[in-house]
Amino acid sequence: MAEKIAFVGLGIMGKPMAKNLLKAGYELSVYDLFPDPVKELEKEGAKGCKTGSEASSNASITITMVQDGPQAESAICGDGGVLEGASKGHLVIDMSSIAPGVSERIGKKCNEKGVSFLDAPVSGGEPFAISGDLAIMVGGSADDFEQAKPLFNVLGKTSILCGKHGAGQITKLANQICVGANIHALAEALTLAAKAGVNPETVYKAIQGGLAGSNVINAKAPMMVDRNFNPGFRIELHYKDINNAMEAARDLDVPLQVTANLQQVLTALVIQGEGKSDHSAIAKYVEKLAGIEIKKH
């Protein structure tokens, strides 16, 4: 491969994404706050680094994948961050899901140093990060998008340029609203079935082929029925995204009634200690109100 890549942030999403780049033949420098995933990637051929700046100094493109806006801003713009090691002409791709305003601020700081920037949040959770089938939503210039496209083709099934800096994040928030509302509606539907004495698994199979069918239902209904809430995408992360959506809505004077209700549901679940569970555990909120569990008959 002609370009050397740095990858900063090797968590539940970042680590499998970095592995896919290695498998595709890219020369990779990696950094994470925790040493274990760095050591794991070193065993697979990556160069481990002590800071984000060290990683970016070995590359022409740096990808960051961290939890939220403060972490992204620190990883890119902070002491020892990516910008310290990036030279003019470098491309920074932040694939974290953060507030659009933070992406715009990071993009401005990058551009002031002569560094290009894309915000490129993803959808699909850990399973699609592993399989390389993520949906990638991108904000930035068309030229930078074209430069990043070969990497996106490795990491995702689709990648779409949505507009200027921050547009990728707005698109991701729209995605998270739809996903969260769909999971909540599915939980209510299957809880209703369970309360009525109808097998929730049968209901799921009956509706999946009709207009109600969706990727969300196909992924999350079996988890609810099997009582499997091991995280593919954690409630605490969806909660973060919905909080960012409500912040953006407030800034733009857009009333979001369904999203506001979803925010309260997720708030309750986090308070109840379900933050580390998969977001299919939204079902637990509905079940608690109804006094019944969704499970096979």
* Secondary structure (3-state) at 127: helix
**Residue 234 corresponds to which amino acid?**
R
Q: What is the CATH number of the domain that holds 10?
A: 3.40.50.720
- Extract long-range pairs of 214-219: CB within 8 Å, 24+ residues apart: 214/182, 216/179, 216/182, 216/183, 216/186, 217/182, 217/186, 219/127, 219/280
- Whether 29 contacts 54, CB under 8 Å: yes
Residue 107 lies in a domain: yes
Residue 297 lies in a domain: no
Say yes or no: 93 and 78 in one domain.
Answer: yes
**Residue 5, beta-bridge partner list:** 28, 61
| Candidate list 15, 19, 47, 172, residue with the active-site label | 172
Say what the pTM is. Answer: 0.91
Residue 31 lies in a domain: yes
Q: What is the CATH number of the domain that holds 236?
A: 1.10.1040.10
Domain C-terminal end among 147, 165, 183: 165
Say yes or no: 11 and 156 in one domain.
Answer: yes
Per-residue pLDDT of the chain (297 residues; tens, 9 = 90+): 458 999 999 999 999 999 999 999 999 999 999 999 999 999 999 999 999 999 999 999 999 999 999 999 999 999 999 999 999 999 999 999 999 999 999 999 999 999 999 999 999 889 999 999 999 999 999 999 999 999 999 999 999 999 999 999 999 999 999 999 999 999 999 999 999 999 999 999 999 999 999 999 999 999 999 999 999 899 999 999 999 999 999 999 999 999 999 999 999 999 999 999 999 999 999 999 999 999 887
Domain C-terminal end among 135, 165, 195: 165
Give ∠ CA 174-208-292 in degrees, rounded to 5.
Answer: 85
Residue 116 lies in a domain: yes
**Residue 6, beta-bridge partner list:** 29, 62
Residue 295 lies in a domain: no
**pLDDT on residue 125:** 87
Q: Which domain holds residue 285?
A: 170-290
Residue 125 lies in a domain: yes
Distance CA(113)–CA(110), nearest Å, equals: 5
Q: For residue 296, indicate whether it is catalytic.
A: no
Domain C-terminal end among 165, 196, 214: 165
- Whether 75 contacts 52, CB under 8 Å: yes
123: nearest Cα among 61, 63, 179, 67: 179
Say yes or no: 125 and 204 in one domain.
Answer: no
Say yes or no: 124 and 188 in one domain.
Answer: no
